[in-house]
Structure 1
Amino acid sequence: MIKLECPDFILGEKLTQEQLSFFDKNGVIIFRNFITKKTVEDLLKEINSLQQKWITEGLEKVNGTPLKFGKDENGETIIQRFCFSSLHNAVLHEFLKDPRFKALPELVAPYEGRIGENEKDGLVINQYVKTPDSSFSQMGWHTDSPRDLFLGQKIMPMLNVGIHLDDCPAENGGLRVLTGTHKQGILKLLFAKKYFVDNNPDPQETGVDINAGDLTVHDGRLWHRVQQSPFTGIKSRRRVMYIPIITGKFIPKHAKSKTPFYHHFISKVKF
């Protein structure tokens, strides 16, 4: 595994030329200390509150997208993949108004990018944990682009913006990327690896050291995966909020939206 050598970039209300160049070359970038430890704690409190609400209500889908359930280290039911979270929690909704997010669409210029709060799967929250009854402790190789094809659209540039809520050095698993593959051709984008079922390390993959409060951005066309932690229980826990920055046609989701085909496929994949 190669470690991503990224300067200690700080995200302001405008990107620097160095930041733009780094992202253009690699397809991924890290901004350190985007939020404080106190804000991390506040967000986790809201996530736990939303989780208990949805579990109590017996909710299984939001706007047509299935929730993913599993068990934590204590055997308690948890939601391991939320969706459209900010549409159901005022604090998460306000968080997305941080003016620094408005700088990120420049990474998809000359296209006009927007925060997809009610598009795709909205604000996704992933809770990775490795226990005997967890259903979500890793994720195989994939890009984020083919979902456009399933929706009958051409592939458009997009970004996935991750706000990290736990410390996760690369040795503890976490994000793995193949830098530069955001510039690959359509055949490699679709067929270079077996989507989601291939969890094998790649000799060229790059790992990322993450601290709670960091923000990452990766191009949707970049091959990436999530490496399973070597630990079990609480030491394996990794919580990340992802919000998409989208280009192209505005296609909002709503309560009567149908479940996209690719979610039926993913539900059959063992993570």
Structure 2
Amino acid sequence: MIHTRVSERVGQQEQYQLTDEEIDRYNENGYLKLESVFDESELEALRAENDTLIQNADTGTDHGSAPIKTSDHLFKSGVWARAIQDPRITVPMTQLIGPNVELDHTTGRKWMPAETAEIEQHDLHQDRVFYSHSAETFINAIVYLDDFPEDEGGMRFIPGSHLDGDLEHVDGEKGPQLPETSHSFDETIGVPANAGDVILFHINVVHGTQVARQSDPGTITWVIYNDPAYGSEQAGVMVAGSRP
């Protein structure tokens, strides 16, 4: 029985491995979309858990068109804990990061319908400016619980920009951003996503979203993974391999 289970796990890992072409695309562009990672029944459970997290953290604030934020999904929800450690995500992570992978942190956002139904614009930036480190091994995984078409809040990337290293940011209206004189949305490529998709992207790839209108709720969750050898001072939960 034990040998059978081990064999099943090995076969499962092979099933979820990225192809050489997918790895090359990630290394070249700095991002990669995995389609239909979670099915509708799994999405229903994740949405329900997400709403529970929101209710538990509700402060009674009228968010309007601003997103409602959640965090620490691993420690607050068994459903999310399983999703974060699901081999459909962690196996590709071992191929891109290495055999040892830890969870750094999670953060979620849910946009509720409002009169304007307008998703806030995120100016072009690198995510490393929001962290206390800039290790090349950090990878963001965005789990989409709803559809985000290109014209309704879908992510936009500048392919290959992760190869430029750490770029100097300036203070923008909503936080750090790249100077408009050096980077433009005209350089970006839109990457729409459907519910159940997961987009992986490098900590240094330049990305953002333009102002978009959306009449339905839209929810995404960022799950950030890293090689524990280059992580934060506070150790995260290991999702693959072991801590050196």
TM class, shorter-chain normalised? 0.7 to 0.9
Aligned partner (choices 47, 53, 57) of residue 54 of structure 1? 57
Partner residue in 2 for 1:176: 156
Structure 2: runs of 5+ lacking an equivalent? 1-13, 237-244
Alpha-carbon distance in structure 1 between the residues aligned to 2:212 and 2:113: 7
In structure 1, give the amino acid aligned to 2:120: S
Contact residue 34 and residue 198 of structure 2 kept, 8 A: yes
CA distance in 1, matches of 2:232, 2:43: 30
Structure 1 counterpart of 2:27: 24
Structure 2 vs 1, CA of residues 106 and 211 (structure 1 numbering), >3 Å: closer, same or farther? Answer: same
2:110 to 114, 121, 127: 127
What TM-score do the two structures reach when normalised by structure 2? 0.75
Letter of the aligned partner of 2:42 in structure 1?
T
Is 1:36 aligned to 2:23, yes or no?
no
Q: Name the structure with the higher helix share.
A: 2
Q: 2:120 aligns with which of 137, 143, 146?
A: 137
Q: Over aligned residues, Cα RMSD in angstroms?
A: 3.2
Structure 1: which amino acid aligns with 2:53? L
Alpha-carbon shift at residue 115 of structure 1 (Å): 3.5
Q: Shift of residue 196 of structure 1? A: 3.9
- Residues 165, 238 of structure 1: 8 Å contact kept: yes
Match of 1:223 among 193, 206, 216: 206
Structure 1 equivalent of residue 138 of structure 2: 158
**DSSP 3-state at the match of 1:40:** helix
Q: Cα gap change, 1:218/1:239 in structure 2, threshold over 3 Å: closer, same or farther?
A: same
How far has the Cα of 1:123 moved from its partner? 1.8
Q: 1:251 aligns with which of 220, 227, 233?
A: 233
Q: Aligned to 2:101, which of 109, 114, 117?
A: 114
Three-state SS of the structure 2 residue aligned to 1:127 is strand
1:207-250, Cα deviation, whole Å (9 max, x unpaired): 0121111111011100111222134x42xx32111111113145
Match of 1:167 among 131, 140, 147: 147
TM-score, normalization by structure 1? 0.68
For the residues of structure 2 that align with 1:31 and 1:81, how far apart are their CA atoms?
24
